Amino acid sequence: MTAPLILTLQLAAEAQAFFDALRRAHFPPARNYLAAHLTLFHHLPGACLADVAIRLSALSAAQAPLPLRVAGLQFLGQGVAYAIDSPPLEALHRQLQQEWWTELRPQDQQRCRPHVTVQNKVAPAVARALHQQLSAGFAPFDTTGTGLQLWAYRGGPWELLRTFPFAALQPGGSGAV
């Protein structure tokens, strides 16, 4: 494979629906050809697809669903995102980052700052207005990361290659949410 790979966190269905609705309402329609997503790695080499898939299969089989706290809103200058707080997600990212370090571009070597963008590529005044509007009624809430999704980037819409559901039991013996 020559296309770069993108790794995202799969969100619980309710959270995915929430973020998708906001993205449909506020993302410029001509640029909104993706569902809402939480990107973990922006550019893994496509030539490493087989090794990446093997690693993600093993990891996801041993990983319980991840607790996520939607903690607040971020003004991005030309957009708005929801900030996600999850020490377990950040630890998972650091683990993969260490394993793949030599293959990573500078953007993916940085500390993970999990977020879901619901608006981008708009005038700063439009983004500021949406940030204020969404912030006014915001209350933090919890959701779950349910797996990993591996995509091929082909210059436009992403191609989903595979989903790796988290399969381990949560502490206390309950199964995946």
What is the predicted pLDDT for the residue at 138? 97
| Domain span including residue 13 | 5-165
pLDDT band at 170 (very low <50, low <70, confident <90, very high): low
**Total domains present in the chain:** 1
Give domain status of residue 87, yes or no: yes
Q: Cα(171)–Cα(175) distance, rounded to whole angstroms?
A: 9
Whether residue 170 is contained in a domain is answered as no
Nearest-5° Cα angle at 89, 84 to 91: 130
What pLDDT score does 6 carry?
97
CA 165 to the chain's CA centroid: 14
Question: Is 171 domain-assigned?
Answer: no
Is 75 within a domain?
yes
In degrees and rounded to multiples of 5, residue 2 shows phi and psi of -100, -20
| Residue 126: alpha-carbon gap to chain centroid | 24
Domain membership of residue 175 (yes or no) is: no
Residue 175 pLDDT level (bands cut at 50, 70, 90): very low
| 27 found inside a domain | yes
